[in-house]
Amino acid sequence: MKLIVDKNKAGLTSKEFYEYLKTPVPSTTFTQEEADEIRKTLEDAHKELGGLGISATQLGIKKRACYIKFGDEELFLVNPVIKEKSKDGFLFYEGCLSIPRTLDKPVKTIRACKVIIDTDNLGELTFEINPEGDKAGEQVSKETMMTVIVQHEIDHLDGLTIKDRVYN
């Protein structure tokens, strides 16, 4: 299983990174067998590589699907699209498996406080931060984490990375 990363051994941005992570993936039709196979591939990759989520594009698969696991929350999303997002945003420090240096040194990003997504397999889902559940310097609520992770993984499918969301 190969993870697509931003830099090659020479320290240059890899062609694969542009091909898979900087190019939007259109919605595609999945058979149930294909969906099951991609879900298993993403679950296996998540177990092997860690992280909180993984998109098919990070593994060199040009399909619009991602897998998220945070705590007891687990989602497999087929053809997810953000159909609505709040104008309000919040700052969050993120890392990305495909940009390994950010795992040790997360980057400050800006994310929407609320997103409504549409998927082929789960229908419409809403994610919204929980400021009351977030304690500065202590913990981030499950709701806030899921709001960030969903946007992060869908970004991969839209040809965006956390580099595109950096807040200066």
Per the annotation, the verdict on 153 as an active-site residue is yes
Q: Is 105 exposed, middle or buried (0-12, 13-18, 19+ CB in 10 A)?
A: exposed
Q: Which of 94, 112, 114, 113 is nearest to 104 (CA)?
A: 94
Q: Are strands 123-128 and 107-112 parallel, antiparallel or unpaired?
A: unpaired
Residues 6+ positions from 158 with CB-CB distance below 8 Å: 24, 25
Q: How far apart are CA 32 and CA 162, in angstroms?
A: 31
Q: Which of 84, 124, 138, 153 is catalytic?
A: 153
CB-based burial, 138-157: b 16+ in 10 Å, e otherwise: eebeebbbbbbbbbbbbbbb
Instruction: Extract the tokens encoding 53.
Output: 């989520």
**Which runs of consecutive H residues, i.e. helices, occur in 97-141?**
101-104
Report the catalytic residues.
153
